[in-house]
Amino acid sequence: MATVDEVDADAYGLDLAADRLTGSDASDLERAAEAALRPRRLDEFVGQRVVRDQLSLVLDAAIGRGSSPDHVLLSGPPGLGKTTLAMIIAAELGASLRVTSGPAIQHAGDLAAVLSSLDEGEVLFIDEIHRLARPAEELLYVAMEDFRVDVVVGKGAGASAIPLTLPRFTVVGATTRAGLLPAPLRDRFGFTGHLDFYSSDELERVLTRSAGLLGSALQPQAASELASRSRGTPRIANRLLRRVRDWAEVRGDGSMDLRAARAALEVYEVDDLGLDRLDRAVLRALCTRFAGGPVGLTTLAVTVGEEPETVETVAEPFLVREGLMGRTPRGRVATPAAWAHLGLTPPADGATLFA
Ligand SMILES: Nc1ncnc2c1ncn2[C@@H]1O[C@H](COP(=O)(O)OP(=O)(O)OP(=O)(O)O)[C@@H](O)[C@H]1O
Ligand SMILES: [Mg+2]
């Protein structure tokens, strides 16, 4: 079976803006670099205190009982640690991890084959679980609840379903779009952890840890500068760190200090809020082309030349969290902070949009 990082790369049929420095999605090469920086155990996993606490309770209880824990669903924007946590769950349970993804399962039969080859206690990680095909989804409900798959033998009127009992196993599902998961599937997960953006302090810890693993020292001021411009996302923090290291080695004196951090961020056009080209393009289009909105997601995405899904899962969550963009029933709107950030003046009647 494939490794987590191979499947991760496959999961993105559409290569979501992989060239963006602060995009939260990762290219194949980057996933290899990331693998080295992944925390292996729960106590190395920085931040997400609530999810970590809850999860450790679920896992410890299962270990104590000598049984498999409830199925776990992890949701949240790209790059916040869903895959990392899935690997940690298996490691904490001392179980082996099987990896697949929604897009990799084309037919219910593919999933039946994976399920029927599971051993007792194994963890099955299904990345991008919201992209499972409907028949596979239905098979999964039954397997998760009753630990059974019905193997269909024969065709047409003569076909019969032979129930096959499965050993106890744990599904860990990951999704960037929990809202797309049908309720029956969501209900089969005994524990759902929603990962949120990281605070600057937490990202500083991620950065310092990563720098240590890369064998270089990151000065505290540089760590804090990078943390505040990483869009609350460990993947981006690690990516910026590697660019700062490049800058320090090639143009600086080798030390990752504030000067190197600022210079590298400037080269890569990451602004003081951590926004990159796509984020700014989205905000700018919203303000200048649509007078601050409201405008529909698809129209907005077309204007900036991106897939609606990219704008929705990659750019929007952070813009909304930073109070730069609002989502209303009539569409996306720019907030006064967005106009201010772009150095633009909102239209005189714009105030009504935020009432
Ligand atoms: N809590 C954390 N502490 C330290 N490093 C982290 C943490 N969370 C994530 N990382 C780092 O960020 C990288 C990206 O995390 P991960 O691959 O788990 O994200 P993801 O949520 O699965 O993203 P995607 O939705 O794109 O699959 C990891 O390689 C890891 O190095
Ligand atoms: Mg992942």
Given ligand 1 and candidates 10, 83, 207, 314, which is best to mutate, with the most ligand atoms within 8 Å of its CB?
83
Helices 200-214, 220-228: inter-axial angle, 10-degree rounding = 120
Task: Report the CATH architecture of 4-194.
Answer: 3-Layer(aba) Sandwich (3.40)
79 is annotated as contributing to ligand binding: yes
Whether 25 is in the pocket of ligand 1, judged by its Cβ within 6 Å, is: yes
Which DSSP string do the residues of 220-260 spell out, in sequence order? Answer: HHHHHHHHHTSTT-HHHHHHHHHHHHHHHHHTS-S-B-HHH
Per-residue model confidence (pLDDT) at position 146: 93
Whether 38 is in the pocket of ligand 1, judged by its Cβ within 6 Å, is: yes
- How far is it, in rounded angstroms, from Cα 72 to Cα 271? 36
> How many CB atoms are located within 10 Å of the residue 146 CB?
11
Q: How far is the CA of 302 from the centre of ligand 1 (A)?
A: 29
For 265-314, write each residue's pLDDT tens digit.
Answer: 999 889 989 998 889 999 999 999 999 989 999 999 999 999 999 999 88
For 176-212, write each residue's pLDDT tens digit.
Answer: 988 889 999 999 999 999 999 999 999 999 999 999 9
For 337-349, write each residue's pLDDT tens digit.
Answer: 999 999 999 887 6
Residue with tokens 């397997």: 143
Of the listed ranges 57-61, 213-217, 232-236, 258-262, the one predicted with least confidence: 213-217
Which DSSP string do the residues of 52-115 spell out, in sequence order? Answer: HHHHHHHHHHHHHHTSPPPPEEEE-STTSSHHHHHHHHHHHHT--EEEEEGGG--SHHHHHHHH
Instruction: Evaluate whether the domain defined by 277-354 bears CATH number 1.10.10.10.
Output: yes
- How far is it, in rounded angstroms, from Cα 205 to Cα 42? 15
Tokens of 162: 């032979």
Which amino acid, one-letter code, is at 355? Answer: A
Residue 321 near residue 232 (C-beta atoms within 8 A) = yes
Whether 208 is in the pocket of ligand 1, judged by its Cβ within 6 Å, is: no
Where do the structural domains in the chain lie, given as residue ranges? 4-194, 200-267, 277-354
- How far is it, in rounded angstroms, from Cα 183 to Cα 317? 22
> Residue 151 above 90 pLDDT?
no
Whether 218 is in the pocket of ligand 1, judged by its Cβ within 6 Å, is: no
Residues with active-site annotation: 82-83, 127, 176, 235
Instruction: Evaluate whether the domain defined by 200-267 bears CATH number 3.30.750.200.
Output: no
Q: How far is the CA of 210 from the centre of ligand 1 (A)?
A: 12
- pTM of the full predicted structure? 0.86
Given ligand 1 and candidates 235, 241, 312, 313, which is best to mutate, with the most ligand atoms within 8 Å of its CB?
235
